[in-house]
Amino acid sequence: MNDRRRQWLDAIAAAADEASLHEVESRLFGKKGEVLELVRAVATLPKEERPAAGKAANLCKQEVEQALAAKKDELQQQALQKELHDPSFDPTEPGPRPRRGSLHPITIVQNELIDLFTSMGFCWQDGPEVESEYFNFDALNIPGDHPARESQDTFWLNDRNLLRTHTSPVQVRTMQRFTRQGFQPPLKIIVPGRCFRAETVDKTHEHTFYQMEGLVVDEGVSTANLIHTMKTCLRVILQREVKVRLRPGFFPFVEPGFELDVNCPFCQGKGCSVCKQSGWIEILPCGMVHPNVLRQGGLDPEEYTGFAFGMGLQRVVMLRYGIDDIRTFMGGDLRFLRQFPEIAR
Ligand code: PHE
């Protein structure tokens, strides 16, 4: 046994690289490996010889194993050293950088709007995407037979719940919570969030879209306050001076209700294909909060007035960056997304 042990240890010592060491290893420890055979052979000896022979065989096996492991280490170190001293290898060269993601353009604009409105004293509110029929429609003075409630427009769930079709339900949710806790106006909130409608998707329509609701309630709030706030907001987001105009617009939860247009940022109002030669772009629906909505919120419409607006975020982002197809937002195309290199703060 001693001879073979010597032979094995010599074979290990003689291995010049990891590949030849691997060969030795499989010869000794692989299937039918010589070392393992030796251990197994103990069982064939006469009974009295087995304990001593077993012990010797195990010791031998351990010794060979240790020699193998030590040699493996040594060869690995050697290989590493060789690589490090290879003149074509420069350990000071920076490695490939992991690619950093960036913010989605909707998130960029949403963050800017949140910064702007919170700097004007608005408070950022959140609300559920799965909403009740009551908050999405009834509380907002939308009659039971209004076409918006129909399933062509609304994704209904079980139990008269639905995917909210706008962020307006958070108006009444917030007013109720506010008055229940004993607060009185002023109340100024913004509600950015995702909304859903059973739309056929095309260049300008998505079934899933982002809005930012705004609500201001106080004594003596007027349309002038609404216009001033909207102008400030559009100037910041579109990064230019803007002119706005109001047209009447109908929403059951505001009275009067308006469509607010901004002068076309692409042609400065001269008329182009984006504004369909009109010089104006419809940008946000808004109005003075309907007395019934204030009552639903627990506020007295004799004492308080308010304004509300519902900005379609995609729309604003499209105007800001000159994007002409709403489907690019959800398409997940990196060539699109990498054009907005802003990273998370
Ligand atoms: N919620 C309305 C919509 O989604 C927009 C809106 C909000 C209109 C607030 C007036 C006031 O169409």
Q: What is the pLDDT of residue 21?
A: 87
Pocket flag, ligand 1, residue 210 (CB < 6 Å):
no
Ligand 1 centroid to 309 CA: how many Å? 6
Q: What is the pLDDT of residue 204?
A: 85
* Residue 223, Cβ density class (10 Å: 0-12 exposed, 13-18 middle, ≥19 buried): middle
Is residue 239 within 8 Å of 320, Cβ to Cβ? yes
Query: Crossing angle, helix 50-85 and helix 34-41, to 10 degrees?
Result: 170
Least confident range from 150-159, 177-186, 278-287: namely 150-159
**Does the pLDDT of residue 152 top 80, yes or no?**
no
Test site for ligand 1: of 136, 140, 168, most ligand atoms within 8 A of the Cβ: 168
**Does the pLDDT of residue 1 top 70, yes or no?**
no
Q: How much is the mean pLDDT over the chain? A: 91
Residue carrying the six token digits 């907002």: 140
Ligand 1 atom at minimal distance to the Cα of residue 195: 4
Ligand 1 centroid to 119 CA: how many Å? 23
- Per-residue pLDDT band for 345 (boundaries 50, 70, 90) equals low
Ligand 1 centroid to 166 CA: how many Å? 7
Q: What is the pLDDT of residue 101?
A: 84
Q: Quote the longest CA-to-CA distance of the chain.
A: 110
Residue 236 sits at the vertex; the CA angle it makes with 235 and 242, to the nearest 5 degrees, is 10
The C-alpha atoms of residue 200 and residue 214 are separated, in whole angstroms, by: 27
**Does the pLDDT of residue 332 top 90, yes or no?**
no
- For residue 73, the SS3 value is helix
Give per-residue pLDDT as tens, 39-92: 888 888 888 988 888 898 888 889 889 988 998 998 899 888 888 888 888 888
Pocket flag, ligand 1, residue 169 (CB < 6 Å):
no
Is residue 179 within 8 Å of 265, Cβ to Cβ? no
Q: What is the pLDDT of residue 37?
A: 86
